[in-house]
Structures are given as C-alpha cells and as structure tokens.
A and B are shown apart, each in its own frame.
Chain A
Amino acid sequence: KAGVTQTPRYLIKTRGQQVTLSCSPISGHRSVSWYQQTPGQGLQFLFEYFSETQRNKGNFPGRFSGRQFSNSRSEMNVSTLELGDSALYLCASNVASGAGGELFFGEGSRLTVL
C-alpha cells in the first residue's frame, strides 16, 4: 500500500511569489491535514480537510489556503511568500476525521524562500 506522497519534495521561491504543494493520501483515506515544521516554531497545524470540506483551521494568515478534491488529494497554496514561510510542509492522512486516530505523514515538501 503506497504511503502519503507529497510533491514537490524541494522547491525554492523568492519573496512575493506563490507556491502550490500537493498531497496524495493513502488510498481510502478521506482526511488530509497539513502542518508547517520550522526550527523555531516546531510543528504547527495549518488545516484539515475531510470529504472536500475544511474541518479545522490553524492560526495562520489568509495567505495560506488549501483545498481537497473528490479523490481526496489535497493542495495547499501560499501566496505572497515571505522569508518566514521557509519550512518543511507536512501532509498527513487518516481514514476519517475522528479523535484518537493515527495520522500517516508524508516526507514533506521543503520550501525555501529567498
């Protein structure tokens, strides 16, 4: 069974640009969550999608957005990039959106903003 796949794995952008990251969950998983990992702030929750609907949202500015498609694949977009957006962006999937469930993480997309 294939794991969570994130693309691209690495990317470099400049300030002001925008970026789109993609996540393909494990087959059969309908919940996709996104996290930002930085050395200073650690792992912070961005948002969760379940059945194409945003279920939870973290405390990030509106420049961060996401969506989920009918096949459960998800994308997140960051507009008007800032230097502080440099981070490892992790996607996680789960069968459902319920408490106590195990999240399966991808290896992440490492974004560098110059």
Chain B
Amino acid sequence: GDSVTQMEGPVTLSEEAFLTINCTYTATGYPSLFWYVQYPGEGLQLLLKATKADDKGSNKGFEATYRKETTSFHLEKGSVQVSDSAVYFCAHDLGGGGNKLTFGTGTQLKVEL
C-alpha cells in the first residue's frame, strides 16, 4: 500500500550544521511530494513540494528533489538555524486527484547554539 518512510528523530544539530532528513515513499500512480513543518504549538505548514520527477522544491534554504528512480524526496539544508527547530513531515498525495495525504511519522529537529 501507499506509505512514506522517513528517518526517525530526534535529530540534534549545532547551528550552521548541514541537515539531511531522508524520506522514501511507495505509491501508485504519480504522486506529488511534500515536506510540511510543524513548529511548537502550531499547525502544519507547507515547506516545499515537487509535483513530478526530477523537480526540485525549495523554500527558506531547504531543498528536496523528487527522485522517481529511488522513490525518494530527501530534505536538505546547508546551514540550519535555531529557528528551524520543529517537526518535519514528508508526505505524498494520491497522484490522481484529491487532497488525501499520506504522511511519514515525522522527524523532530532540534538546533542548538
């Protein structure tokens, strides 16, 4: 069935460190891929997305590339800040329409000075 697998957290990094959060998916059809972020006490918000193979989504210094051959959508940032501390969720949609998202379990990131 459709699923999303992302690396478990928590991940603790020092400020300015390089971040990678791995995400792989299984899905029928041609899904769109997303990274959502949840800051403490807030709802989820879209960080970036990619709608077809080889697309790169980017926002706020974060990037992820839709790799169909490896069914992956790894999130990267070259230099994290304390304000990036949050829970990050990888997700995909049905690919055939509709707003049903399948989420990964989330990866908590803590950035320290």
Q: Do A and B bind each other?
A: yes
Residue from B45, B46, B91, B94 in contact with A99 in the complex, judged by beta carbons closer than 8 Å:
B94
Asked if B98 contacts A55 (CB within 8 A), the reply is yes
Residue from A4, A42, A97, A107 in contact with B99 in the complex, judged by beta carbons closer than 8 Å:
A97
Asked if B100 contacts A42 (CB within 8 A), the reply is no
Chain A, interface SS category: strand
Residue from B45, B51, B96 in contact with A105 in the complex, judged by beta carbons closer than 8 Å:
B45
User: Number of residue pairs across A and B with beta carbons under 8 Å?
Assistant: 72
Q: Number of A residues contacting the other chain (C-beta, 8 Å)? A: 27
Asked if A107 contacts B98 (CB within 8 A), the reply is no
The answer for the CA separation of A58 and B98 in the assembled complex, in Å, is 12
The answer for the CA separation of A5 and B77 in the assembled complex, in Å, is 31
Asked if B43 contacts A33 (CB within 8 A), the reply is no
Residue from B46, B93, B100 in contact with A58 in the complex, judged by beta carbons closer than 8 Å:
B100
Residues of chain B contacted by A105 (CB below 8 angstroms): 36, 43-45
Per-residue interface assignment for chain A, residues 1 to 43, with 1 indicating a CB less than 8 Å from any chain B CB and 0 otherwise: 0001000000000000000000000000001010100000011
Asked if A45 contacts B101 (CB within 8 A), the reply is yes
Per-residue interface assignment for chain B, residues 77 to 113, with 1 indicating a CB less than 8 Å from any chain A CB and 0 otherwise: 0000000000001010111111111111110000000
Asked if A56 contacts B32 (CB within 8 A), the reply is no
Residues of chain A contacted by B32 (CB below 8 angstroms): 99-100
A98 interface hit (Cβ, 8 Å): yes
Residue from A43, A99, A104, A106 in contact with B89 in the complex, judged by beta carbons closer than 8 Å:
A43
A114 interface hit (Cβ, 8 Å): no
**Nearest CB on B from A96, distance (A):** 9
Asked if A42 contacts B105 (CB within 8 A), the reply is yes
A83 interface hit (Cβ, 8 Å): no
Asked if A31 contacts B99 (CB within 8 A), the reply is yes
Q: Which A residues are within 8 Å of any B CB, using their own CB? A: 4, 31, 33, 35, 42-45, 48, 55-56, 58, 90, 92, 94, 97-108
Q: Which B residues are within 8 Å of any A CB, using their own CB? A: 31-32, 36, 41-46, 49, 51, 89, 91, 93-106
